[in-house]
Every structure is written in C-alpha cells, then in structure tokens.
Amino acid sequence: MASITVQLPQKSYQIAIAPGNLDQLGPKMQPLNLGKKVLLVSNPEIFGHYGERAIASLEQAGFDVSHCILPAGEEYKTPQTLQNIYDAALAHRLERSSTMVALGGGVVGDMTGFAAATWLRGLNVVQVPTSLLAMVDAAIGGKTGVNHPQGKNLIGAFHQPRLVLIDPEVLKTLPVREFRGGMAEVIKYGVIWDVELFTQMENSRGLDEINNLTPGLLEEILIRSCQSKADVVAKDEKESGLRAILNYGHTVGHAVESLTGYTVVTHGEAVGIGMVAASRLAVELGMWNEESDRRQLALIEKASLPTKLPSGLNIEDILVSLQTDKKVKAGKVRFVLATGIGVVTLTDKVSADVLRGVLAGMG
C-alpha cells in the first residue's frame, strides 16, 4: 500500500502500511540488524487476536521471541506496570542489541517504547500499532512514557522506533469507540496540516465506523496522517518548535483526561473535546471564523465524538490542571490554535477569563 520514511539525522525509519503486514513482521525486521532476542509486549485482547501470528512471523525469520502481557487501559500506563516489562527483559536476558516489539494501541506502544529507552540505557523498539490512534499518531515520532497521577505522559523519553509496521486489517477487531478516538487525531491532521484530508473527510458518507467511510478513504486516512506526522517529526524531532502543533486539542484534552482519572473519556474523545475548545478560543481571539469552527465541529460530530465537557468537571480544576501540562512555558499555557483549515499557530495569549467563558459554553 505505502511506505513512508521518517527522515531523521540519526536514524531514519520506515512506516510500512499494507494489508497482511502482520505476517511480514519477521521478514521486515530481518534486514534492520535488530539482534536475535525479541521481547514482544502486548495486552491480553490484542495478544489473543494477533500474538500467535506475530510470534510465528518472528520465529520463522530466526528471532528468539518471548512475550510480556500488560493489563489493558490508560489507567495502567504507570511506572508500576513498566516493572512487568523490565522483569520480562531480565528473565529473557535481553541485550543492548535486542529489540522490544510493541503490539497494541497507544498505551502498549508508549510503555514499550519507554521500557526500550531505559532498559540497559536503550534497546531497539519496533512499533506494530493495532489501533487507529496508534497507527496515525502514537507509534510514530518516538514519544514514549507513562502517566503521573498529576498529569499525562509526565514521565517519558524520546526514543525513535526502528520500524513502524501497520496492517490495516487488524482494525477489523478494533472496538468502535476506539476507532472514533483515532478519528479525533485524524481530524487533527486535517486542521493543522492537510486541508485535502479535511475535505475528503467532509465528503465521506460517515466517519463513525470503518464501514461508513467512503471506499478508499481508510487508505487515504492512514497514508495522509502518517505522512503529516512524518513531515512534522522530521522538521522538529524533539519538539523545540513546530512539533508542538501536534498537540492541537491536547491542552484542554489532557486536563479532561487527567481530571477524570483516565476512565471516563478515551484519549481520542478528550482530544475531540479539546479541539472544540481550541476552535472556540480561536474564534474568541478573532483568529479564525465561525464558518471554520462549524466545519470542524461537523467533522467531530460526524465521527460521533463528544463535543461537551464530561458532567461534573469543575472549570477551575481544568485551569489549575493546565499549569502542570508539559505545554506550559515560563508559567504560561501555550495553546495551539487554528488560523485556517490546514494552518495553526502557537499562542500564550489566551487569558484565564476567555478560557473560562469558552469552557462554560461547553458544559
């Protein structure tokens, strides 16, 4: 289907996208000089669906494979859960030249990436994302980490994968709520980078389920989203500037996730809510118009994502939570706001009162 390169000064890598790729995991890793020992990390459900096929492919290619199963869910993305991966790495006697393979969604990918970044001061990691969200975002670009009770991904490291292997066929078993969460990140790329993707989504008969996408759109979504992410990461690997635009919708989104204990809304749902807030803020600041706001809202609704704050959430708590976000610079919260479809900018000019007003309108 497609091969996209993430161009980096140190080690560039491929995002390989094709139906049936899961069975190509071993052959695709073979030429990359990834050592013999592999620790495959997954969660119970994904491992049940795809673990055997992934392991068979790796073993047929000559890898010595063991596996580690983590509990599923954002609430387990903690330093405590990481210990399971470290214990398995020790038991399997992984070496510096060895490789961890993340087979799962964003939680598995982020934790495996962080374990690979830290065990023996750094092993190889290969990302095999199985959720739409992980395919288009989390698996690409080397952000790894775990959550702290006070905030999402506060403990982490940059650790680029050696390969990202995407098999769109695995989306067949993805729960519909998770598919919609992934669509939030796809809509994000349309707003921040790729106006053509945005209009293709507007023209689709639906965005709420794979089967409701216009034929050919899934392929476009995967290729265009991965290309957008690869472009941005290639220009700013460690987020010293441009990469921050990928956090569109994540500022309020992270606060919502964190304040609701990571159990009430999914990450994608929180990003959808955060994009609604960002859009209203941009309108308030006169940066973009009501028509663009309406078009973005229509896409979020078309993906059946929530557009209101979860009930019971206190607006003042959101404002406090924003202060612990990684996007705070010199004490000021930096927002990514859109100025046109496909164009965003960073600003720290959002006053607490404007934010309060926007959030009050989202209850």
Q: Which residue among 180, 247, 280, 302 is the active-site one? A: 247
Asked if 243 touches ligand GLY (CB under 6 A), the answer is yes
Is 205 a catalytic site residue? no
**Contact window for ligand GLY (CB under 6 A) among 14-22, 137-145, 206-214, 326-334:** 137-145
Return phi, psi of residue 219, to 5°.
-60, -45
CA distance 207 to 301: 9
- At 2, list the tokens: 């497609």
* Contact range with ligand GLY by CB under 6 A, out of 70-78, 120-128, 136-144, 218-226: 136-144
- Active-site choice (152, 159, 180, 267): 267
Is 37 or 143 the residue whose CB approaches ligand GLY more closely?
A: 143
Please report how close the Cβ of residue 238 comes to ligand GLY at its closest, in angstroms: 10
334 binds ligand GLY (CB under 6 A): no
Task: Choose between 137 and 178: whose C-beta lies nearer to ligand GLY.
Answer: 137
- Which residue out of 37, 159, 224, 229 is catalytically annotated? 229
Q: In whole angstroms, how close is the CB of 143 to ligand GLY at the nearest point?
A: 4
Q: What is the widest separation between alpha-carbon atoms in the chain?
A: 61
From residue 12, alpha-carbon distances to 17, 161, 175 in Å are 16, 9, 32
Nearest distance from residue 272's CB to ligand GLY, in Å?
15
| 250 part of the active site | yes
Binding ligand GLY (rule: CB under 6 A), the pick from 110, 137, 220, 257 is 137
Should residue 145 be labelled a site residue for ligand GLY when binding is judged by CB under 6 A? no
Nearest CA-CA partner of 61 in 16, 93, 92, 28: 28
Establish whether 329 is a catalytic residue: no
Two structure tokens written together for 94:
């992984």
List, in sequence order, every residue forming a beta bridge with 128; answer none if it has no partner: 103
Which residue in 178, 220, 237, 239 is the catalytic one? 239
Is residue 349 part of the annotated active site? The answer reads no
CB atoms within 10 A of CB 258: 22
**Binding string to ligand GLY for residues 191 to 230, with x set by CB under 6 A, is what?**
----------------------------------------
Residue 229 bears catalytic tag:
yes
Instruction: Decide if 188 is catalytic.
Output: no
**326 DSSP assignment:** T
Q: Which long-range contacts (CB under 8 A, 24 or more apart) does 321-329 make?
A: 321/151, 321/254, 321/255, 321/258, 321/259, 322/251, 322/252, 322/255, 324/150, 324/151, 324/154, 325/151, 325/251, 325/254, 325/255, 326/151, 326/153, 326/154, 327/244, 327/247, 327/250, 327/251
- Concerning whether 238 is annotated as a catalytic residue, the answer is no
Q: Which of 185, 220, 237, 269 is catalytic?
A: 185
Cβ neighbourhood burial of 35 (10 Å; 0-12, 13-18, 19+)? middle
Six-digit token string for 102: 């993340």
188 touching ligand GLY, by CB under 6 A: no
Residue nearest to ligand GLY (CB): 246
What type of residue sits at position 256? Answer: V
Of 41, 166, 197, 246, the residue at the interface with ligand GLY (CB under 6 A) is 246
| Of 28, 37, 77, 143, the one binding ligand GLY by CB under 6 A | 143
Is 67 noted as a catalytic residue in this protein? no
Segment (H or E) for 27 = helix 25-29
Q: Look up 254 and say whether it is catalytic.
A: yes
Q: Mind telling me the catalytic residues?
A: 121, 143, 185, 229, 239, 243, 247, 250, 254, 267
Kindly list the residues in this chain that would bind ligand GLY in the complex (CB under 6 A).
137, 141, 143, 243, 246-247
